[in-house]
Amino acid sequence: MMRPSPSRNWYEPGASGIVPEGGRATIVSTLSLGTYLGPGRHQEGNTLSILLVVQAGHDETTGNESQLLQFGNSTVFGTILDRVAGFEDGPVVVAISDLPADDQLEEIANEREIPVVRAPSDDLLARFVEVIADYPAEHLVRVTTSSPLIDRHLISSIVDAHTTSGADYTSNTLLRTHPAGLDVEVIRSDALLDAAEQAESADERAGVTTFVQRRPADYKLQAVLAPGDYEDHAWSGDDESLERITQLIQKSGGSFDRAWDNLLAYDRPQIPDSAVRLRVARNNVLEHLDELTDTIGFPPDPFPIGDPTRRSWGVWAGDELIGAIVVSVQNGWGTLAGKFRPGIDGDLAPQALAAVDERLLADEQVIALTIDGSAIRNYRS
């Protein structure tokens, strides 16, 4: 593992033990500590307050080929590291596998004087425990290489929301309003250590934060919303998206360091006029709830807005609000309820449920969906 060069002046050697706050975590060890001396706003004694971890390389199901694709003047991975350079809340560490195939990623990080933690490829959650062992911090920020346009200023705003709220876990993915490819998670290290000790299912270990997300009764969750609804913008790291992103950046002037919100004006996602769309519920849904009188299940009253333990969506057909759907989540089980405008086209409600399926298939917090206690969907094998 490479330590930061002295010029960065981030760490000094030390030794101590970490006892997570609240007494929930069962992993307690004597670790090599360091003092963060950089420009960040969150500094506490000899343990970092904030550590940004870029997860990369091989894991249980994927390789690193897409991370090494050309993107701008570098690779996808190199561009991500360049975009988080200058993050002001704490240092940056890369977490990759110990497979020789990931050596090139370590070289790219070394060129930028970013430290690297290497661990086995078959347990991503254990990889983050290795990060905590080498770089103790109260909170970890997790970003991955599926976010080639990740924005350090967006990360800082989510860190601020996390530390201000006192949450155990904060993300802009619980209620998605940002473009896919701007995913940021912040988690208390003691919560992550809980997960490392207790998570048994393969998806909870591969998802790193999934164990915590699925247990809102045990951990305080915080959702961060964008100022508008931008989830139709697809900026993730697959080949098709990379081509679109490159064209988008060229339209905007060619800078691969442009802030994410400055790119929105140049992106025109194609949305069929006839499509039923889900949008995270806001006040524009609350204002019309009285008009939605046909019900599915038992919709909560009051209708939840911004609750990270519930997926609350307005259902739109074009510019018309035709319904509102809530999926309440506990221990991975989602319970669906909804309200619809009476007399809507008979095909629209099934289309809305299909849209819910599409969202929940990509939602790590939800294992299965029920209505009135009867299982109707199982999203995880």
E strand residue ranges, 197-309: 221-223, 276-280, 294-296
- Same-domain check for residues 179 and 31: yes
Please indicate, yes or no, whether residues 306 and 372 belong to a single structural domain of this protein. yes
Dihedral, CA of residue 115, residue 118, residue 123 and residue 126, to nearest 10: -60
Over residues 96-108, mean pLDDT: 96
Residue in the structure block whose two tokens are 């809980």: 194
| One domain, residues 153 and 275 | no
> Could you tell me if 211 and 90 lie in one domain?
yes
Asked if residue 255 belongs to a domain, the reply is no
Q: What are phi and psi for residue 182, nearest 5 degrees? A: -125, 40
Q: Average pLDDT in the 332-353 region?
A: 89
Q: What is the mean pLDDT of residues 145-161?
A: 96
| 299 and 187 co-located in one domain | no
Extract the runs of DSSP E, i.e. beta strands, from the chain.
13-17, 30-34, 43-44, 47-55, 70-71, 74-75, 92-97, 116-119, 137-144, 169-171, 185-188, 221-223, 276-280, 294-296, 310-317, 320-330, 333-340, 368-371, 374-378
Q: Angle 376-336-357 (CA atoms, 0-180°, nearest 5)?
A: 60
Q: How far apart are CA 364 and CA 98, in angstroms?
A: 26
Domain count, the chain: 2
Q: How far is CA 125 from the centre of its chain?
A: 15
Any domain includes 213: yes
Same domain, 286 and 155: no
On whether both 212 and 111 belong to a single domain, the answer is yes
pLDDT at 293 over 80: yes
Structural domain harbouring 296 = 271-378
pLDDT of residue 19: 24
Answer whether residue 229 is part of any domain: no
pLDDT band at residue 273 using 50, 70 and 90 as cut-offs: low
Residue 238, classified by CB atoms within 10 Å of its CB into exposed (0-12), middle (13-18) or buried (19+), is middle
CATH of residue 342:
3.40.630.30
Residues 149 and 214 in one domain: yes
Q: Are 146 and 205 members of one domain?
A: yes
Domain annotation covers residue 259: no
The contacts of residue 336 (CB under 8 Å, 6+ apart) are: 296, 297, 325, 326, 327, 356, 369, 370, 371, 376
Q: What residues have CB less than 8 Å from 240, skipping those under 6 apart?
A: none
Q: Which of 206, 223, 240 is the last residue of a domain?
A: 223
User: Does one domain contain both 139 and 285?
Assistant: no
Helix (H, G, I), strand (E, B) or coil at 193: helix
Q: Does 1 reside within a domain?
A: no
Mean pLDDT on 350-371: 89
Cα(171)–Cα(193) distance, integer angstroms: 18
CA max distance for the chain: 69
Cα atoms in the 13 Å half-sphere on the side-chain side of 214? 23
Q: Is residue 212 domain-shared with residue 289, that is, in the same domain?
A: no
Averaged over 135-162, what is the pLDDT? Answer: 96
Average pLDDT over all residues of the chain: 84
Query: Rounded to two decimals, what is the model's pTM?
Result: 0.85
Q: What is the pLDDT of residues 298-331, one digit of tens each?
A: 899 899 999 999 999 999 998 899 999 999 998 8
Please indicate, yes or no, if residue 136 is contained in any of the structural domains. Answer: yes
Last residue of a domain, one of 223, 253, 282: 223
pLDDT band at residue 82 using 50, 70 and 90 as cut-offs: very high
> Does 88 reside within a domain?
yes
Give CA–CA dist 378/95, Å, rounded.
Answer: 32
pLDDT at 274: 65
Q: How far is it, in rounded angstroms, from Cα 156 to Cα 136?
A: 19
CATH number of the domain that 148 lies in? 3.90.550.10
> What percentage of the chain exceeds 90 in pLDDT?
62
Output phi, psi for 33, to 5 deg: -100, 170
Q: For 72-79, which contacts have Cβ atoms below 8 Å and span 24 or more sequence positions?
A: 72/246, 72/249, 72/256, 73/256, 74/108, 75/108, 76/145, 76/148, 76/237, 76/242, 77/105, 77/108, 77/145, 78/108, 78/111, 78/112, 79/148, 79/256
Judged by average pLDDT, the poorest of 193-197, 218-222, 360-364 is 360-364
Instruction: State the Cα–Cα distance between residues 289 and 261, nearest whole angstrom.
Output: 31
Q: Which of 223, 251, 285 is the last residue of a domain?
A: 223
Same-domain status, 178 and 313: no
